[in-house]
Chain A
Amino acid sequence: MDFTLSKEHEMARALFKEFAEKEVKPLAQEVDETEVFPRETVEKMAKLGFLGIPVPKEYGGQGCDPLTYAMCVEELSKVCGTTGVIVSAHTSLCCDPIMTYGTEEQKQKYLVPLAKGEKLGAFGLTEPGAGTDAQGQQTKAVLDGEEWVLNGSKCFITNGKEADVYVIFAITGTVEKRGRLQKEISAFIVEKGTPGFTFGTKEKKMGIRGSSTYELIFTDCRIPKENLLGQQGKGFNIAMHTLDGGRIGIASQALGLAEGALDNTVAYVKERKQFGRAIGAFQNTQFQLADMATKVEAAQLLVYKAAMAKATQKVYSVEAAKAKLYAAEVAMEVTTKAVQLHGGYGYIREYDVERMMRDAKITEIYEGTSEVQRMVISGALLK
């Protein structure tokens, strides 16, 4: 068992780190403060191929493995949680399902521009009444001649108003399962600008405030029949499989936030003096840092293991769930401790750890709450 990264991965990390430090970090505070989507950063990332890292080259991507992608989200999130989730939602939740379930025509039409970063992607599963209970969907799609007609709404959609291509889930009928009628869910590709597709309110959030989180509204929105993604009725499986990959992206974001907070804190405790000594000289500080660093590394190992599992295994739900559960909880714990070690300054917006703590909270909630991850993990144990 070898825990060293390959030279390629080391160099890729150095690239992501350099980009994050030079291009992303200087804007992080402003993006948070103004809640403005960092469009210029996204364009820079597009040029460098950061929006298609795990997509094969023949579809306009970089042809790298999931680990390289995870490291990209990690390094971006070290300095800006908003930028990390923009890449994660685009890649894991929009590129990935089209890559996995799309027809050749759909891949050429949608995946290629998405992977090249010419278009941005989003994913619409959650509804006001259907969060963890994804089966509680209300949005409907009815086939009318050569078109599907969508009606309903989706909420809390990342990259909401900024995206161009959306993977949307809707009920297409009912099926009988073990004697009970169940909703049949299907997946669709919807383009921005389709008549009947509009945006509702922009959410005002605690953290990741530069990411564009919107309600999507479909009112007699007609999309071509060929925009059905995968087989009709397989939408729930597509959503769950997509979220397995998404969880690796969010776990990477959480990991990056924890690492960023730890790095900031190590630097701070060396400088900050109280009672005539740097606070890093006090054993309480040292022990806190030791715990933080140990948990961060454990989280990193789980996240990298899940990314490697995605590369080599057909099913990696449990690995992804463990990585997301642990990395998110570590992110919350480490960022909270980072604020505490910064004392009063940690509560001030001028210091990055204040933002990191607010950004970290969402990683325990979206793309499956920590409770959902525990259901997935224990479900596999008790099967």
Chain B
Amino acid sequence: MKIVVCVKQVPDTAGGVKFNPDGTLDRGAMLTIMNPDDKAGLEAALRLKDQYGAEVTVVTMGLPKAEEVLREAMAMGADKGVLVTDRVLGGADTWATSTTLAGAIRNLEYDLIITGRQAIDGDTAQVGPQISEHLDIPVISYAQDIKIEGDSVVVERQYEDRYHVVKAKMPCLITALSELNEPRYMTPGGIFDAYKQEITVWGRADLKDVDDANLGLKGSPTKIAKASDKVRKGAGEKVSLDPDESVSYIVDKLKVKHVI
């Protein structure tokens, strides 16, 4: 079985967020981590590898620095890494990103593609399903459990108060939730081995069946009007009152502010 896992290097929310003048993220200037949902997707792929035997290829699109996230994936047990990087691909929204990733994945053999549900920097949950549309394969989103049955996958798809059991023939795409599993740690030896391996680097010219009009900032229908870091709130006011007094106190405050 061949599994492709899409991973994204995202800002570490502990390290602060920085923006470019055009409102896109200044990814080069931030501390980064592997997106948590993607990491769960990778762990799911590695568990399938442990259980059934598989070759796991991780694919990422980003700055050359995004190579780190591939090394991390390989130190956890992924077999190969593909970095898609090119200036013309920068500033991509979900449409341009999924077009790019699909263009890269067309060069690879796969039975299963796993992506995270969504990235913690954009929170759109669109890229995974869009890739499946580009490649014309089924998608099962929000996976909380994945099993293989013959040439099909059986996935528990999470809903608010229940889950659906969905079966699909491979090849198909699954989007994973961080609740899916507890990702394994790297191993020290795995880290050094990962840095000895070659990483495949692809640019625009290597993408298959894609149109320039759908790539990069120019090919992105989404325009960012304004972006800002979280504005820190003041310390606020703390009062210690019994419940009845508290209610009157809050109501008075709301009246003063003309909220009610």
Partner-B contacts on A (CB < 8 A): 7-8, 11-12, 15, 18-19, 48-50, 53, 57, 61-64, 68, 72
Contact = CB atoms under 8 A, between A and B. Distances in A.
B188 A19 contact: no
Nearest to A53: B188
A151 B191 CA distance: 45
Nearest to A61: B189
B88 interface: no
Nearest to A55: B189
Interface centre among A11, A12, A64 (most CB of B within 10 A): A11
A61 B68 CA distance: 24
Contact of B188 (A7, A15, A18): A15
B34 to A, nearest CB: 11
22 contacts: A7-B71, A7-B195, A8-B191, A8-B195, A11-B68, A11-B186, A11-B191, A12-B191, A12-B192, A15-B75, A15-B185, A15-B188, A15-B191, A48-B187, A49-B187, A53-B188, A62-B187, A63-B189, A63-B192, A64-B192, A68-B188, A72-B188
A18 B71 CA distance: 17
Contacts of A72: 188
Interface residues of B, number: 12
Contacts of A15: 75, 185-186, 188, 191
Contacts of A53: 188
A162 B186 CA distance: 26
Main secondary structure of the interface of B (DSSP, over half): helix
Interface of B: 68, 71-72, 75, 185-189, 191-192, 195
A50 B195 contact: no
A15 B192 CA distance: 12
Contacts of B195: 7-8, 11
A48 B185 contact: yes
Nearest to A18: B185
Contacts of B185: 15, 18-19, 48
B187 A8 contact: no
A188 B187 CA distance: 31
Contact of B189 (A7, A11, A19, A64): A64
A68 B187 CA distance: 12
B188 A57 contact: no
A11 B72 CA distance: 8
A49 B186 CA distance: 10
A252 B13 CA distance: 30
A372 to B, nearest CB: 31
A49 B189 contact: yes
Contacts of A49: 187-189
Contacts of B68: 7, 11
A11 B188 CA distance: 9
A68 B195 CA distance: 14
Given A53-B188, A62-B188, 18 more contacts: A7-B68, A7-B71, A8-B191, A11-B71, A11-B75, A11-B195, A12-B188, A12-B192, A15-B185, A48-B185, A48-B187, A49-B187, A49-B189, A50-B188, A57-B189, A62-B187, A62-B192, A63-B189
